[in-house]
């Protein structure tokens, strides 16, 4: 199946350790030119890639990631949990991923994943760094989040960078919240999109993104609805 706007989830989904440079490289090897990843803050406010609140699932560390300084986080093994071939893979900084994407003109969707209580501050820091990294670039990163305050913080620092609200359950105020945040995109779990919602989003000049689309039947339904981009783990299955 061919869809014109496939986005590789967390680099290369599940084929490599998520949110690592190795995953991005593997996604690119499969032909992907658009990527999604999760970013959060270390205790000393370095922006790095990690999905979970804690380190336990995807590194050899333990506890809340945001409680540690980058000097400690940078030494963790973020690959062995996945498979032996990725032993020693490190957590990347946003700068590392930005350099990789910018050098090859790849599109990047930055999902802001704040530690509890740091929603606005994380949005501010991510936006400030992204603004600097993509200075004078025409293809800017899309900053998305489930957290309203994270996007509000990003908007306050870098209003020119595009934003997108993420929904796991439909909210009747979704379009109003998107307007308040001056979003360019609405990102929904794939089951939430209906023809009426897609048409309304497009009338409001919002792009419609869908996650996480791993089955052909779901992709076909969304393509028929004219959803603008699909985020997938199955980079080996779908031609970007």
Question: Angle 55-150-12 (CA atoms, 0-180°, nearest 5)?
Answer: 50
**pLDDT for residue 112:** 98
- Give the structural domain span for 35: 6-53+94-232
| 64 domain residue, yes or no | no
Q: Is the pLDDT of residue 3 over 70?
A: no
Q: How many CB atoms lie within 10 A of CB 85?
A: 11
Asked whether residue 164 is assigned to any structural domain, the reply reads: yes
- 62 part of a folded domain: no
Catalytic residue set: 9, 51
Q: Which residues have a Cβ under 8 Å from the Cβ of 176 and sit 6 or more positions away? A: none
**Residue 61 domain-assigned (yes or no):** no
Note the pLDDT of residue 13: 79
| pLDDT surpassing 80 at residue 2 | no
Per-residue pLDDT tens over the stretch 127-178: 999 999 999 999 999 999 999 999 999 999 999 999 999 999 999 999 999 9
pTM assigned to the model: 0.97
The string of pLDDT tens digits covering residues 20-46 is: 999 999 999 999 999 999 999 999 999
Is there a domain that residue 48 lies in?
yes
CATH value at residue 148: 3.20.20.190
The whole-angstrom separation of Cα 92 and Cα 74 is: 8
Number of domains in the chain: 1
User: What H or E segment, with its residue span, contains residue 25?
Assistant: helix 21-29
Closest CA to 112 of 50, 65, 62: 50
How far is CA 9 from its chain centroid? 7
Write out pLDDT tens, residues 78-134.
999 999 999 999 999 999 999 999 999 999 999 999 999 999 999 999 999 999 999
Residue 69 maps to a domain? no
Domain membership of residue 126 (yes or no) is: yes
pLDDT the model gives residue 4: 63
Rounded Cα gap, residues 238 and 240, in angstroms: 6
Task: Determine, yes or no, domain membership for 89.
Answer: no
């Amino acid at each position: 199946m061919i869809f014109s706007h496939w986005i590789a989830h967390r680099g290369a989904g599940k084929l490599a350790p998520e949110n690592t440079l190795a995953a991005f490289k593997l996604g690119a090897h499969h032909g992907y030119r658009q990527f999604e990843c999760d970013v959060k803050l270390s205790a000393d406010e370095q922006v790095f890639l990690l999905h979970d609140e804690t380190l336990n699932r995807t590194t050899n560390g333990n506890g809340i990631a945001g409680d540690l300084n980058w000097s400690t986080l940078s030494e963790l093994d973020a690959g062995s949990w996945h498979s032996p071939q990725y032993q020693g893979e490190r957590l990347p900084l946003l700068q590392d991923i930005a350099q990789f994407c910018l050098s090859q003109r790849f599109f990047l969707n930055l999902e802001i994943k704040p530690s509890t209580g740091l929603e606005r501050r994380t949005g501010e820091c991510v936006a400030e760094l992204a603004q600097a990294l993509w200075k004078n670039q025409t293809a800017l990163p899309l900053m998305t989040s489930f957290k309203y305050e994270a996007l509000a913080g990003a908007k306050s620092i870098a209003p020119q960078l595009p934003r997108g609200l993420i929904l796991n359950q439909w909210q009747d105020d979704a379009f109003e919240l998107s307007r308040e945040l001056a979003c360019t995109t609405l990102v929904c779990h794939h089951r939430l999109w209906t023809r009426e919602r897609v048409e309304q989003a497009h009338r409001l000049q919002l792009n419609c993104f869908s996650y996480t689309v791993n089955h052909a039947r779901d992709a076909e339904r969304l393509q028929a609805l004219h959803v603008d981009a699909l985020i997938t783990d199955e980079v080996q299955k779908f031609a970007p």
